[in-house]
């Protein structure tokens, strides 16, 4: 009897261990989701009389959806058009349902979703696990099932679920779990974007095995800003915590370092290259927050670069990691399918001109990336063939200050 019970417990533990490695079972986000999100660039602009082109409104999303189709964004893979905070009316309706601000979204979210779908795109929406959203609109606390049903009935395809205004960490965790179950119960395929670990982290170590069972991607760190210091802090945080977070990422569940801010005001060209290259290395969801009505050809070239997007979307679904760092340079690699590797060399110096970095190919991919030989292709800052190398050879690159050279290494 005791032995039998012991066996059962052992089997249960083994099953839990297997299940623990699994992602949220909704069949979504097999590769990192791609799209456009109104937060960073448009924040919480709600005064459409004062700022008709900038306010969070039906018109803004319709115009972005039109651009996404007309300017090749959808064809490059940017599929979701996502609403962030501040879309709601200040109160729920008489049935207790969330409702869009009637002035700014005169047709309601259902009509916007229909429009977005008619363009071959998907619609994302935003809510919060607590009593109020971060900007003070109604939160989903105590309404998880009703809100999930409302979103599903509107035809929503992604939910970004923020973590402001929760009374305790237990309620926060419980709310993230319950919304995941509620979304599943609707029967509609809805990508579930969480901020659960970010809100837990100051107090306790997040259980990523569990988070991955409930969420398709999750934020770990502060909101991205339109600045190099923000990009740098996200990269530093990621490298510092890579032992915990890299292994958990994979098809169905991704670490989310927040939006691409390329095409705005804060990043130089080299810094934009760094963000694009490193978001590909990190297997990050690629949500742009910029104004697709006003974007430079250079930013568009970078954001639509097929080779970088292919690295980001690589079907093996392994997140990259930092291999080496000194005060000037960082070397990162990401295992890709077909035994290939993406390799990034980032120059952290913010003084002087381009710096030369020389490294041995022997150590890439645990000694396997260029064994016995490899061909190397540079992807960024410009596409070029670097030629064929042997295992024992070194590679020298010139990298601009705050810039990155992104390579693809193919074994021969
Ligand atoms: C709900 O969860 C079940 C079991 O994990 C899964 O098979 C199903 O595909 C999910 N449905 C949706 C719509 O996410
Ligand atoms: C983390 O969550 C998993 C899945 O829910 C569970 O099996 C495991 O015991 C948890 N780990 C810790 C340290 O709590």
192 membership: H or E segment, kind and range: strand 191-194
Say whether 290 sits in a helix, a strand or coil. Answer: coil
If one counts every other C-beta atom within 10 angstroms of the C-beta of residue 110, the result is 15
Task: Please tell me the predicted confidence (pLDDT) of residue 21.
Answer: 58
Residue 165: partners with Cβ closer than 8 Å, 6 or more residues away: 128, 130, 131, 132, 133, 134, 139, 141
pTM: 0.94
Provide φ and ψ at 150, rounded to 5°. Answer: -60, -50
210 within ligand 2 shell (Cβ under 6 A): yes
Q: Is the peptide bond before 372 cis (omega within 30 degrees of 0)?
A: yes
Q: Which of 27, 157, 183, 252 to mutate to test the pocket of ligand 1 (most atoms within 8 A of CB)?
A: 27
The one catalytic residue in 162, 256, 258, 314 is 162
Ligand 1 atom at minimum distance from 189 CA: 13
Query: SS3 string of 13-50?
Result: HHHHHHHHCCCCCCCCCCCCCEEEECCCCCCCCCCCCC
Tokens encoding 121:
């795109």
Q: In whole angstroms, give the CA distance from residue 34 to residue 214.
A: 20
26 within ligand 1 shell (Cβ under 6 A): yes
Ligand 2 atom at minimum distance from 16 CA: 7
Q: Are 116 and 126 in contact (CB under 8 A)?
A: no
16 within ligand 2 shell (Cβ under 6 A): yes
Strands 355-360 and 394-399: antiparallel
Q: Closest residue (by CA) to atom 11 of ligand 2? A: 207
Q: In whole angstroms, give the CA distance from residue 306 to residue 302.
A: 9
Task: Please tell me the predicted confidence (pLDDT) of residue 6.
Answer: 34
Ligand 2 atom at minimum distance from 207 CA: 1
28 within ligand 1 shell (Cβ under 6 A): no
Q: Which ligand is nearest to the CA of 208?
A: 2
Q: In whole angstroms, give the CA distance from residue 398 to residue 88.
A: 49
CA 186 to centroid of ligand 1, rounded, Å: 10
Q: Closest residue (by CA) to atom 3 of ligand 1? A: 25
Across 289-393, where does the E strand assignment appear? 321-325, 329-335, 341-347, 355-360, 373-380, 384-390
Which DSSP string corresponds to 66-82? HHHHHTTHHHHT--EEE
User: Is 170 an active-site residue?
Assistant: no
Could you tell me the domains of the chain?
14-312 (3.20.20.70), 321-411 (2.60.40.1180)
CA 26 to centroid of ligand 1, rounded, Å: 5
Rounded to the nearest 10 degrees, what angle do helices 58-70 and 108-118 cross at? 10
Q: Which ligand is nearest to the CA of 152?
A: 1
Residue 86: partners with Cβ closer than 8 Å, 6 or more residues away: 43, 44, 45, 46, 56, 133, 135, 137
User: Is 101 an active-site residue?
Assistant: no
Task: Please tell me the predicted confidence (pLDDT) of residue 305.
Answer: 98
Residue 294: partners with Cβ closer than 8 Å, 6 or more residues away: none
Nearest Cα residue to 303 out of 272, 282, 345, 332: 272
Task: Please tell me the predicted confidence (pLDDT) of residue 331.
Answer: 98
The one catalytic residue in 66, 145, 223, 236 is 223
Residuewise pLDDT in 10s, the chain (412 residues):
333 333 333 333 333 344 345 899 999 999 999 999 999 999 999 999 999 999 999 999 999 999 999 999 999 999 999 999 999 999 999 999 999 999 999 999 999 999 999 999 999 999 999 999 999 999 999 999 999 999 999 999 999 999 999 999 999 999 999 999 999 999 999 999 999 999 999 999 999 999 999 999 999 999 999 999 999 999 999 999 999 999 999 999 999 999 999 999 999 999 999 999 999 999 999 999 999 999 999 999 999 999 999 999 999 999 999 999 998 999 999 999 999 999 999 999 999 999 999 999 999 999 999 999 999 999 999 999 999 999 999 999 999 999 999 999 999 9
Q: In whole angstroms, give the CA distance from residue 407 to residue 258.
A: 23
262 membership: H or E segment, kind and range: none
Q: Are 191 and 29 in contact (CB under 8 A)?
A: yes
Nearest Cα residue to 206 out of 257, 245, 259: 245
Sheet containing strand 122-128, strands side by side? 254-256, 217-219, 191-194, 158-162, 122-128, 80-82, 34-37, 286-288
CA 193 to centroid of ligand 1, rounded, Å: 16
Q: Which of 18, 200, 207, 218 to mutate to test the pocket of ligand 2 (most atoms within 8 A of CB)?
A: 207
Rounded alpha-carbon distances, angstroms, from residue 147 to 58, 91, 130, 368: 20, 13, 13, 49
Residue 202: partners with Cβ closer than 8 Å, 6 or more residues away: none
């Amino acid at each position: 009897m005791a032995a039998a019970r012991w066996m059962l417990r052992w089997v249960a533990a083994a099953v839990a261990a297997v299940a623990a490695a699994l992602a949220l079972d909704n069949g979504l986000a097999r590769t990192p989701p791609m799209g456009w999100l109104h937060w960073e660039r448009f924040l919480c602009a709600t005064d459409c009389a004062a700022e008709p082109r900038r306010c969070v409104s039906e018109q803004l999303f319709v115009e972005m959806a039109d651009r996404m189709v007309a300017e090749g964004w959808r064809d490059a893979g940017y599929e979701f058009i996502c609403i962030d905070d501040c879309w709601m009316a200040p109160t729920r309706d008489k049935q207790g349902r969330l409702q869009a601000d009637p002035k700014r979204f005169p047709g309601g979210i259902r009509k916007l979703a229909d429009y977005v779908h008619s363009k071959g795109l998907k619609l994302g929406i935003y809510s919060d696990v607590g009593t109020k959203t971060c900007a003070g609109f109604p939160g989903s606390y105590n309404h998880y099932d009703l809100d999930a049903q409302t979103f599903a009935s509107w035809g929503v395809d992604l939910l970004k679920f923020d973590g402001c205004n929760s009374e305790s960490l237990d309620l926060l965790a419980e709310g993230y779990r319950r919304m995941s179950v509620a979304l599943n119960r609707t029967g509609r395929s809805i990508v579930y974007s969480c901020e659960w670990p970010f809100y837990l982290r100051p107090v306790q170590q997040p259980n990523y095995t569990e988070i991955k069972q409930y969420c398709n991607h999750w934020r770990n760190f502060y909101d991205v800003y339109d600045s190099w210091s923000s990009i740098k802090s996200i990269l530093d945080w990621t490298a510092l915590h890579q032992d915990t977070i890299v292994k958990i990422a994979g098809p169905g569940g991704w670490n989310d370092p927040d939006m691409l801010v390329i095409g705005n005001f804060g990043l130089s060209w080299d810094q934009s290259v760094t963000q694009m290259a490193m978001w590909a290395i990190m297997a990050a969801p690629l949500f742009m927050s910029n104004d697709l009505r006003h974007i430079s050809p250079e930013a568009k070239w970078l954001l639509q670069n097929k080779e970088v997007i292919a690295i980001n979307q690589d079907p093996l679904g392994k997140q990259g990691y930092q291999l080496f760092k000194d005060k000037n340079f960082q070397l990162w690699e990401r295992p890709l399918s077909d035994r290939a590797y993406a390799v990034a060399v980032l120059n952290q110096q913010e003084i002087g001109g381009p710096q030369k970095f020389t490294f041995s190919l022997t150590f890439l991919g645990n000694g396997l990336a260029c064994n016995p030989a490899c061909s190397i292709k540079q992807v960024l800052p410009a596409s070029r063939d670097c030629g064929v190398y042997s295992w024992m050879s070194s590679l020298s690159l010139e990298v601009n200050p705050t810039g990155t050279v992104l390579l693809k290494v193919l074994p021969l």
